[in-house]
Amino acid sequence: MSSRLPDLTASNEYVVRQRRELAELFGFETRNKYEVLAGPERIALAAEKGRGFGAALGRQFLGHFRTFELAMLSPTGELLLEAVHPFRWFFKELHVRSQDGRDLGHLQQRFGIVKRKFEVLGERGDIGSVSSPIWTPWTFKIERLGTEVARIEKKWSGLLKEAFTDADTFRVVFAQGALTTDERAVVLMAAIFVDLNYFEKKA
C-alpha cells in the first residue's frame, strides 16, 4: 500500500467533484481539476499537469484523445498518485501509479455498441469490469465475477451548471471489504476517467 495515501477503507463512500472554471462559460477548456471528499472532509486534490501553450492547444483541439498526466495531491500538497493517459484514437487507457512510481493499476476502455465499457485492472489482477448501458448513462457499476464491488454515479448538478460548464460531481460507493486502499485509489481515478471520456466536451 502506498504510504502517503489516506486509508480509503475507512469510508465506503466518497465524492469526486470537478472544480468549476469561469473560462468554460466562454467555451475555453482549461486544466481539469477535482477534489476528493470523504463526507465534508477534503482528502485530496487532483489536477491535470501541463500549463504551457502546447498543452492548452492540445486541450482545445485534441480533447480526450491527447496524451496528458494527472497528479493527485494531499490537502497539504504532498503527491499521492500520478496517472498517465497515452494518446489514443480508440480504446483509451489511464495508467495509475503511486508517488514512488509503483504501478497500482490501469483502466482500459473496451468495445461496446449499446454500453460504455472498460476494465479496471489492479496490481494483482482484475478489480472489475465496468458497464453503463444507454438506459442508465450516469451509473457505472464495477463488477468482479458477477458481484458489484464499487459503483460510480454522476450526480445531477442543476440545469445551468450542466448547460454551461463541464463541472461534474461523482459519487463513488464501495462494497464493504471488497477492495484494498490501492484498489480503491484506482477506482477514484476511474471516476475522473469516466468524466474525461464521457462527460467532458473537450476534456
Q: Read off the C-alpha cell for 170.
A: 461523482
Query: From CA 69, how far away is CA 96, in angstroms rounded?
Result: 10
pLDDT in tens, 55-81: 555 455 455 666 788 999 999 999 999
pTM value?
Answer: 0.83
Query: From CA 20, how far away is CA 128, in angstroms rounded?
Result: 30
Query: From CA 95, how far away is CA 105, in angstroms rounded?
Result: 6
What pLDDT is recorded for position 66?
A: 66
Query: Side-chain half-sphere of 145: how many Cα atoms within 13 Å?
Result: 3
What pLDDT is recorded for position 168?
A: 84
What pLDDT is recorded for position 95?
A: 95
pLDDT in tens, 11-30: 999 999 987 654 444 344 45
What pLDDT is recorded for position 183?
A: 95
Ranges of residues in the chain with a pLDDT under 50 are: 1-2, 22-29, 53, 58, 61, 159-160, 162-165
Which strand (E) or helix (H) includes residue 71?
strand 68-73
Q: Which residue has the cell 498526466?
A: 69
